[in-house]
Amino acid sequence: MNKRRLFGVVGNPVLHSKSPMLFNSLFNAQNTNAFYTRMAADSAAEAIRFFKEACFQGMNVTAPFKEEIIQFLDFVEPEAEKLQAVNTVYWNGKRLCGKNTDILGVVNALKEKGVQANNKKCLLIGAGGAGKAAAYGLIKSGAQLTIINRTFAKAEKMACAFGCKAEKIEKLSENIRKNQIIVSTLSADKELISINDINANHVIFDANYKKSYLTKIAEKKQCVLVKGESWLLHQAVPAFEVFLKQKPNIKIMRNALNETLPDKEKLLIGVFSPEEENELKKNRFFCYTSLTNNKQKPDLVLYGKNKSFKQIKQKTDAEIYSSFKN
Q: Is the dihedral of CA 202, 206, 211, 212 positive or negative?
A: negative
Active site residue 113: no
φ, ψ of residue 97 to 5 degrees: the values are -120, 155
Distance between CA atoms of residues 107 and 231, nearest Å: 9
Alpha helical stretches, state H, 209-276: 213-220, 228-244, 250-256
Strands 95-99 and 121-125: unpaired
Sign of CA dihedral 186, 187, 188, 193: negative
d(CA 206, CA 129): 15
- Preceding peptide of 248 cis, ω within 30°: no
- Contacts of residue 208, defined as CB under 8 A and 6 or more positions apart, other chains included, come to 184, 186, 187, 188, 214, 215, 227, 228
Among residues 66, 132, 227, 315, the one annotated as catalytic is 66
Q: Is the CB of residue 208 less than 8 Å from the CB of residue 233?
A: no
Q: Do the beta carbons of residue 28 and residue 57 sit within 8 Å? A: no
Determine how many CB atoms are found less than 10 A away from the CB of residue 95. Answer: 10
Active site residues: 66
